[in-house]
Amino acid sequence: MKIRVFFYAIAIILVPGIIGCGDSDKDLKKDTKEIAEIMCKSIDAMHKLRIADPADSQRIQKLQSDEENIQVEMKALYKQFNTKYGDKIKKPEFVKKFRKYLSISMLDCKCI
């Protein structure tokens, strides 16, 4: 009986800790998804610009303006990312995780 109570007490203590460990990369996954989305928007804008009729100057100007706006948004996002993760960015383990999550997130990009 005492063994059973001891076992359940240990289980109650360990289960939340184990479950919580799985979400340690939750913020990184979220931030990486945001970066992937902006990269996808940039790729899509560049693709539209490339296939646009050169004679349609208004459309070309609009697409160039859209691309410039995306670049500004991308710079702000990267600055925020660099500020948030600071020295972690220089660690190979972090870079490996980031690349993995970025690759997975880029799979959702329809223009690739």
Domains in the chain: boundaries = 25-106
pTM of this prediction exceeds 0.85: no
Inter-axis angle of helices 57-85 and 26-51, nearest 10: 160
**Residue among 107, 49, 41, 44 at smallest CA distance from 74:** 41
Tens of pLDDT along the chain (112 residues)? 555 544 444 545 554 444 445 556 899 999 999 999 999 999 999 999 999 998 989 999 999 999 999 999 999 999 999 999 988 999 999 999 999 999 999 998 888 7
Tell me how far apart the alpha carbons of residues 12 and 18 are, in angstroms, rounded to a whole number.
Answer: 11
Task: Give the contacts of 29 (CB within 8 A, at least 6 positions apart).
Answer: 101, 105
Which residue in the block uniquely carries the two structure tokens 């500020």?
A: 83
